[in-house]
Copies of this chain bind each other. A is one copy, B any other.
Amino acid sequence: MNEVGNFFKSAFSVDNIIFGFDDGDLKVLLIKRGQEPFKGRWALPGDLVYPNEDLETSANRVLEELTGLRNVYLEQVHTFGAVDRHPLGRVITIAYFSLVKISDFNIMPASFAKTAQWHSVVKAQNTRLAFDHNIILNKCFQVLKQRVRTRPIGFELLPPKFTLTELQHLYEAILEISLDKRNFRKKILSMNLLKDLDEFQEGVPHRPAKLYEFDKERYRQFEAEGFSFEVKEGKRKEKKRLMETMGISID
């Protein structure tokens, strides 16, 4: 058996499903494979895990090498290990997803564009990706959907300042449902996770919307309390869930 054959006898990799939001659409960052197997196909960015590297470190490295970004939201989703998932040997892969602000990508190096490209998640799901990456993408999207209902992580995908409508469109894109504007605003604002900046959009051909900022401090506070908060007066519930549902309950 040759070198490559030995190499792939048994190995593990990470794949990092990088989600972004732009143009009212949820996107995923894919890489065009330059070599076999699956040369020319789009694939999820990933790499073998280095011997001296924790899994999460590895997932972060994949992200940073590709985008230059650090300290983004990262979550382990699932490990895929079907015997035949890699044509060259036994490779299991640990899938993570990241949430990034596409606005940060303005500073991307030129070399980037050659191989990496944002794709609409829905379209990518209907494209034949390399390896078992369709399955992985589906699973990550499904977990993202669920996560967004129970934790206020949507902000990770938006620029620092955003409007409520942008936020609503984000939730609609992820959940693939439409939400009622008034109810959405009531709920989001009642969470007290947004700072009203008293600034407004500029250069829009309509009434400019108010800009908000995510209150990271308050988020950390909620995080510590498991995303629920004390109710001041009411004697009914001791704690109140922070999110849950965020609209109509369809899974």
Residues of A within 8 A of B (CB): 3-4, 6-12, 48-49, 51-55, 76, 78-79, 81-83, 90, 92, 94, 226-228, 237-241, 244, 248-251
Docked pose: A250 CA to B52 CA in angstroms: 38
Contact of A54 with B82 at beta-carbon distance under 8 Å, contacts A4-B3, A92-B12, A228-B250 already known: yes
Residues in B whose Cβ lies below 8 Å from that of A78: 76
A51-B228 in contact (CB<8A): no
Residues in B whose Cβ lies below 8 Å from that of A6: 4, 8, 51
A222: min CB distance to chain B, Å? 11
Docked pose: A79 CA to B78 CA in angstroms: 8
Residue of chain B at shortest CB distance from A81: B55
Task: Write 24 A-B pairs (CB below 8 A) sorted by A numbering.
Answer: A3-B4, A4-B6, A6-B8, A6-B51, A7-B8, A7-B11, A7-B48, A7-B51, A10-B10, A12-B12, A49-B92, A51-B90, A52-B83, A53-B83, A54-B81, A55-B82, A76-B79, A79-B94, A81-B94, A226-B250, A227-B251, A228-B249, A240-B249, A244-B244
Docked pose: A97 CA to B238 CA in angstroms: 31
A226-B239 in contact (CB<8A): no
Docked pose: A245 CA to B228 CA in angstroms: 13
A57: min CB distance to chain B, Å? 9
Residues in B whose Cβ lies below 8 Å from that of A94: 79, 81, 92
Residues in B whose Cβ lies below 8 Å from that of A92: 12, 49, 55, 94
B11-A10 in contact (CB<8A): yes
What 9 pairs across the A-B complex have the smallest Cβ distances?
A55-B81, A226-B251, A6-B51, A79-B79, A79-B94, A4-B7, A241-B249, A54-B82, A7-B11
Docked pose: A52 CA to B241 CA in angstroms: 45
A75: min CB distance to chain B, Å? 11
